Amino acid sequence: MQHSAGGRALAIDYDDVLSAQRRLEGVAHRTPVLRSATADARAQATLHFKAEHLQRIGAFKFRGGYNALDRFDAAQQRAGVVAFSSGNHAQAIALSARLKAMRAVIVMPEDAPEAKIAATRGYGAEVVLYDRYTEDREALGRGLAEREGLTLVPPFNHPHVMAGQGTVANELFDEAGELDLLLVPLGGGGLLSGCATVARARYPNCRVIGVEPEAGNDGQQSLARDAIVAIDTPRTIADGAQTAALGDLTFGVIRQCVDAIVTVSDAELVDAMTFMASRMKQFVEPTGCLAVAAAFANAEPWQGLRIGIVISGGNVDPLRFASLIAAP
């Protein structure tokens, strides 16, 4: 379903999220909402952490990927799926395809970490490697899709992906009730657009704020200019948010439903990762800490609020975690 707001049709509405919620029932984990008195004291607010690092494949991406595949028609299911990704989306599609007994082809750069290639193959997907300096992955993927009849599922700019990611906020509200503020990591905008759609429908007074890495604030710029701003691939430890631009579908929802976008520095991300480990005993990837870092950095204006925080994922190699937190 689509509804229009401000003259433009939005890609998804709350019914799409509810449909995704039903499709994910018994398939995705209903991840816990964590609380910490120490975190509350630090932020001077009441924090509810939605723990998507405990989701299948270690990140929220499973929700959108599975929802998209679950909506394939019979012919699409028979032919299979193709996706490009070197990160969590690759594993989300690979696992979802295995669960749906579907063929999956994942296009990955040949210099992707060996562990990620192995993990994707481990889920039974075919991995097609390309040289990121000489080959165009989009052309490669589209060629594969056309030749073999595969359906392409993009990582964020797709209604079924966005609706699937919205179930994160839906479950958070189910557990925590009304919130004053919802803080959501922002890369391409799949998670933020889905979560904002839910907040607008269920708790219109809940402010929704996206959190980007300081070095890659294309979302913040886009909201300010009311047009998608593209930037060079940002240099940040938040590798899940190294997107150059929002999609037209995600931006359409974000400009209507999101109140603001704030940024945090890499140093604030490292501090948040360290806090999550030492105080909450949770192992969270840098991108996964975006909303946590924002809650700590902005304690004063948000003092006393009931804040929902989406922890988006936990897929960081322990050795990389070690080197990040040990850096001066």
Residues 6+ apart with CB under 8 A from 6: 256
Is residue 86 part of the annotated active site? The answer reads yes
Q: Minimum Å distance from CB 30 to its own copies?
A: 13
Give the C-alpha separation, 145 to 122, whole Å. Answer: 22
216 is a site residue for its own copies (CB under 8 A): no
124 is a site residue for its own copies (CB under 8 A): no
CB 253 within 8 A of CB 11: yes
* Residue number with CB closer to its own copies (225 or 281): 281
Q: Minimum Å distance from CB 137 to its own copies?
A: 27
Tokens of residue 109, six digits = 């750069």
Q: Which of 280, 315, 236, 246 is nearest to 52 (CA)?
A: 315
27 is a site residue for its own copies (CB under 8 A): no
32 is a site residue for its own copies (CB under 8 A): yes
Task: Tokens 């929704």: give the residue.
Answer: 208
Q: Minimum Å distance from CB 288 to its own copies?
A: 9
Tokens of residue 65, six digits = 């990927």
Q: Minimum Å distance from CB 326 to its own copies?
A: 5
Is residue 19 part of the annotated active site? The answer reads no
175 is a site residue for its own copies (CB under 8 A): no
Give the C-alpha separation, 243 to 245, whole Å. Answer: 6
321 is a site residue for its own copies (CB under 8 A): yes
Of the residues 19, 50, 85, 86, only one is catalytic, namely: 86
Q: Minimum Å distance from CB 315 to its own copies?
A: 8
Among 2, 233, 303, 323, binds its own copies (CB under 8 A): 323
Give the C-alpha separation, 268 to 42, whole Å. Answer: 14
Q: Which of 30, 92, 24 is nearest to 59 (CA)?
A: 92
Q: How many of the chain's residues bind its own copies (CB under 8 A)? A: 21
- Side chain identity at 185, as an amino acid letter? P
Tokens of residue 104, six digits = 């999956």
Q: Minimum Å distance from CB 325 to its own copies?
A: 5
Give the interface segment with its own copies, choosing from 5-13, 219-227, 246-254, 269-277 (CB under 8 A): 269-277
End-to-end CA distance of the chain: 50
Give the interface segment with its own copies, choosing from 8-16, 195-203, 231-239, 314-322 (CB under 8 A): 314-322
53 is a site residue for its own copies (CB under 8 A): yes
CB 293 within 8 A of CB 275: no
Site for its own copies in 272-291 (CB under 8 A): 274, 276-278, 281-284
Give the interface segment with its own copies, choosing from 100-108, 217-225, 237-245, 270-278 (CB under 8 A): 270-278
Task: Compose the 83-122 pattern: x for residues touching its own copies by CB under 8 A, - for all others.
Answer: ----------------------------------------
Which own/partner contact pairs does 318-325 have at CB distance under 8 Å and 24+ positions apart?
Answer: 318/283, 321/273, 321/283, 324/237, 324/270, 324/273, 324/286, 325/270, 325/273, 325/274, 325/277
318 is a site residue for its own copies (CB under 8 A): yes
Give the C-alpha separation, 8 to 252, whole Å. Answer: 8
Helical (H) or strand (E) element with 294: helix 290-297
Residues identified as active-site:
61, 86
List of residues contacting its own copies (CB under 8 A):
32, 53-54, 58, 274, 276-278, 281-284, 314, 317-319, 321-323, 325-326
